Structure 1
């Protein structure tokens, strides 16, 4: 009977999460049966959107075992982490009016004592603690990771700890006395796997056609699979994030079907469909992760049509950024596309007179074939970014946490890339990801002349 139940649970999960049969089977063999569970800690790692958290959470619900699933991004201190775990393992519901947790817990010793009390009351044998985004443990108290890795030994209660992270375990080696957990790797999906997964979204695609067109387009699975194949031919090299690919595939399918609905081409003319959708797919690459293609315009029949204007100017206008964040982005662009040796000439008012050489005259007399804005962005340090930011900003503002938060937001939005580890305090490096047309639009919004401060145009 137990084997039949095991098979049923595994099969349901494999149908829900295709192309993850091996990982589901292995994880179930480790935690599926509480009476046979012997592991102290499990280390689940892999890139973003590969099914680590969702598969673990779904499996825990299906086997109906007491567990605490905690996202460490929400637990900004160890106190919040301890109290969150205690609340979930004790089934304590926090009253919004009172806001009182199960127990106040300030340190690891109090946490272990409270766990023992809960165990005596409700029996925590076979319980599981899941720490999602476990890389955040590197920024927290030094004793947290070693304790969670050997939790069963320390508390003498058969509780298993699962760590879920995007980092490999070797990245945690700076910590002392680490016990090697059982490792479970979730690899990135390859192109064929993504094709199979995205093809399963055909029912969403049919619903979108119903919501956006007057008549129904009767297409089969093969038609949608061909579209997904075309979509991945553009997106696969740039993005492997399943969540983002799924979102972009759904909204671009409207444009793929428009020529058919407008009687411009046949459903079976794949080459004509490709020629029409290719420019749209390529332009939509520029708005990955920004989620700006939600602007809806009503049609005459009362339905709504998704407007997919992926032009660079539209992206810059639609993206709502705080005032100082716009100047930080402009400063980042200038730092990426100007040589550091030109900073004094560009941003210092009384920088002294530059003596022109023959090479300068030659450079000025001919148009350069390779402008800095065409060669791609260069890395720059945090100190240089701040120096340019204060040089181009008319206001006198002090350095504060608000600027750091806005800089982090630009990194989260993929407008900037962080090129250094979080632990590097001196000389943290970034790179600007936006192009000239984008930054020109942002500059006009704040009344800033970007060309005046770029080395490529300073001679004009």
Structure 2
């Protein structure tokens, strides 16, 4: 980019081809970035709901314009030290250089500013704008109090040409605190309207069908789902798994692409059932189609079978399965240690005098209790790494766990287990774990 209008217009056109309906945000960001060697704004705050194109637009601009940058995610970098080291080491790998033999270590912001200057000099980036993109920036509020103000004023602290870009799903007002700091330039990514969603979704028309036919199908889908769901990723998923049912009369020779009334009459009951699976992504397209086929044949699949098959297809890993089993044990509040010789039988209440815990519904439990029982169950066979905490986030995202607010302590995360005992028994068998042995109700 040399600052003239044609190159900017060409860049906007190129990026808009892959990311439509975001032309205004692309133009604004390109005007803020300017030329490579020009000073830019110290910080940019881009916010919007999930699947509104924040990360895609930023990444595409940085790669298309070949700007030196580093991308970090605060979910992975859950502490300040990991965040500092991810930025410093990422500058090497993202700009055509191998990581140093000894990874850069950094403990505090003072060291980070010093090492950042040294890294920019080592990579010969003193005369170019370096972009630091921090995704899930709302998690910065949970770290040290000086991190957010320091990143917003990093250009001044490092005395260099650097721009920090914060990506978040919440508004900037929720970041403000009493310390005071430099205000970033705010860029909003609004939700896609119905016409924009249709324009984006029609780009993924399957082979063998015209764009007009697929657009008519998408119009029917949006007329039903747009009221309850405006998430682009979820709508893409819903459009993909329901298209096979829509074209069923065409494959059977009972209708043509122009018989819209017959297609809709056959598709409408299926679409109403699909409304029940909005955001329930653990039910895959294969499972959903099989359930409907067996339902039509008078063989409705049981909830246990559907849940178990769907869970097996989730990519949550071995420790994720263990974590889910642990959550069920913890929710019962009574944990029976099989291998402990110190268990006092006198403290065990008679079975007929106590209520069966798994009949009382899910109970909240704190994160520290979940981790304690987890390590007691696995007997120290799993190292305490960031992946363990990522598994909890994955379980929450697929609605197997639910995060609730802490009632008695400040900033203590609490969770609820949202699955049945039959489900957890099936899952536990996949890791050769007898969950019944760890519950008082079955002692």
**Structure 1 residue 254 displacement after superposition:** 1.9
* Equivalent of 1:195 in 194, 198, 209: 198
Equivalent positions of 1:3-82 (< 5 A) are 3-82=5-84
Q: When the two structures are aligned, how many residues end up with a matched partner?
A: 384
Distance 1:329 1:350, change over 3 A: closer
- 1:439 is displaced (CA, Å) by 7.3
Residue 318 of structure 1 is aligned with which of 310, 325, 341?
A: 310
Partner SS, residue 309 of structure 1: helix
1:268–1:5: structure 2 CA closer, same or farther, 3 Å change rule? same
Instruction: Note closer, same or farther for the CA distance 1:379–1:293 as it changes in structure 2 (3 Å cut).
Output: closer
Residue 85 of structure 1 deviates from its aligned partner by 2.0
**Residue 136 (str. 1) matches residue 126 (str. 2):** no
Question: C-alpha separation between the residues in 1 aligned to 2:121 and 2:427?
Answer: 63
| TM-score, scaled to structure 2 | 0.71
Q: Structure 1 residues 323, 35: CA separation in 2 closer, same or farther (over 3 Å shift)?
A: closer
Give the 3-state SS of the residue equivalent to 2:187 in structure 1: strand
Distance 1:41 1:29 in 2: 14
Q: Which residue of 2 aligns with 1:290?
A: 281
What are the residue-to-residue correspondences of 1:362-377 with 2, within 5 Å?
A: none
8 Å CA contact retained: 2:329, 2:435: no
What is the 5 A alignment of 1:15-414?
15-90=17-92, 91=95, 93-94=97-98, 100-101=102-103, 103-121=104-122, 122=124, 123-174=126-177, 176-202=179-205, 205-206=206-207, 217=208, 219-281=209-271, 282-283=273-274, 285-286=276-277, 288-293=279-284, 295=286, 308-309=290-291, 312=303, 313-320=305-312, 322=321, 325=324, 328=327, 381-382=364-365, 408-414=393-399
1:325 and 1:406 in contact (8 A); partners too? no
Change (3 A) 1:279 1:442: farther
CA contact (8 A) 1:293 1:308 kept: no
Q: For the structure 1 residues 327 and 163, does the alpha-carbon distance in structure 2 shift closer, same or farther, using more than 3 Å as the test?
A: closer
Bigger CA drift: 220-229 or 135-144?
Answer: 135-144
Which sections of structure 2, spanning at least 5 residues, go unmatched? 293-300, 313-319, 334-348, 429-433, 437-443
Hey, what's the Cα distance between the residues in 1 that align with 2:139 and 2:173? Answer: 15
Structure 1: 5+ residue runs without aligned partners?
207-216, 297-305, 335-347, 355-372, 391-395, 450-460
Q: For residues 27 and 408 of structure 1, do their structure 2 counterparts lie closer, same or farther at Cα, with a shift above 3 Å needed?
A: closer
- After superposing the two structures, state which structure 1 stretch, 175-184 or 48-57, moved more: 175-184
Partner of 2:340: none
Q: What's the CA shift for 1:291?
A: 4.9
Shift of 1:404: 8.0
Deviations 1:240-297 (A, max 9, x none): 221232133123212211221111333222233223333444337427353542649x
Alpha-carbon distance in structure 2 between the residues aligned to 1:245 and 1:333: 37
Residue 255 and residue 327 in structure 1: after superposition, are their counterparts in 2 closer, same or farther (change >3 A)?
farther
TM-aligned CA distance change 1:160 to 1:201, over 3 Å: same
Match of 1:418 in 2: 403
* TM-score, normalised with respect to structure 1: 0.69
Q: Distance in 2 between matches of 1:399 and 1:426?
A: 28
Give, in angstroms, the shift of residue 126 of structure 1: 1.7
Q: What CA distance in whole angstroms lies between the structure 1 residues aligned with 2:83 and 2:412?
A: 31
